[in-house]
């Protein structure tokens, strides 16, 4: 019988991270719920356990180097890492200041590199890392700082894939479109009817849609895929009559 995989999902207390943790647990993995909000982390871990899965919660800020060191030191092996934790804000380009870019890069880019740098040392051959970019890298108004950061993730993803290929570790990314999450609900520019007008498939995505893509890229079925970014946006990136 194959040894149970150990998977870490950062920012797994809600939205895409929560759905991904639940999906990987359903697939048989032991989940480490790495989340800044300890109560949310515990709720997700308890839910997984209540449905017969295996999970534990770790309260952690992915921008805290000491906390990352402490988390890594307690882990002997990690087979899957999903770098999901991230932030988003709506701000006109003219209102953006250097600190807006710094905060966005600290959480959405540097934390991805710093978590990965520590965890990859505990990954066996066959391990997989999945990073979260965004369909927004193709352009959106009032998100220059976010787009810059998520574009950097797309580049970092390719670099990491090459860095870790010799170790037998695959690195891929998922770029979600509009997904019905708490983060989407908090956006000051959210207009669901406007989103729908630009969706060829006629609906906004669900966290489970992204979780399915992440689970595939982390699975043995994707054993010959590395350095790629999978767009999961209901066709929004196709443009045409549905786009601007």
Distance CA 213, CA 229 (A): 11
**Encoded tokens for 108:** 């959405």
**Encoded tokens for 83:** 């770098």
Catalytic residue among 101, 143, 146, 242: 146
Mark whether 146 is an active-site residue. Answer: yes
Residues composing the chain: 244
List residues with catalytic annotation: 146
């Amino acid at each position: 019988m194959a040894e149970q995989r150990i998977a870490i999902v950062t920012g797994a207390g809600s939205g895409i991270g929560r759905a991904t943790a639940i999906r990987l647990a359903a697939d048989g993995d032991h989940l480490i719920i790495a989340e800044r909000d300890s109560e949310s982390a515990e709720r997700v871990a308890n839910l997984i356990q209540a449905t017969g899965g295996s999970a534990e919660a770790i309260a952690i800020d992915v921008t805290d180097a000491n906390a990352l060191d402490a988390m890594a030191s307690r882990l002997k092996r990690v087979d899957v890492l999903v770098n999901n934790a991230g932030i988003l804000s709506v701000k006109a380009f003219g209102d953006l200041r250097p600190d807006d870019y710094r905060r966005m890069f600290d959480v959405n880019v540097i934390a991805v590199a710093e978590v990965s740098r520590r965890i990859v040392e505990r990954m066996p051959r066959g391990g997989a890392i999945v990073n979260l970019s965004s369909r927004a890298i193709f352009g959106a108004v009032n998100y220059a700082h976010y787009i810059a950061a998520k574009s950097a993730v797309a580049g970092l993803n390719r670099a990491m894939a090459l860095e870790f290929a010799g170790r037998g570790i695959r690195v891929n990314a998922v770029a979600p479109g509009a997904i019905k999450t708490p983060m989407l609900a908090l956006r000051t520019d959210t207009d669901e009817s406007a989103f729908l007008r630009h969706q060829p498939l006629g609906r906004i995505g669900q966290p489970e849609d992204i979780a399915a893509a992440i689970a595939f890229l982390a699975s043995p079925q994707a054993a010959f895929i590395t350095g790629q970014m999978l767009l999961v946006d209901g066709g929004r990136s196709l443009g045409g009559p549905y786009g601007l």
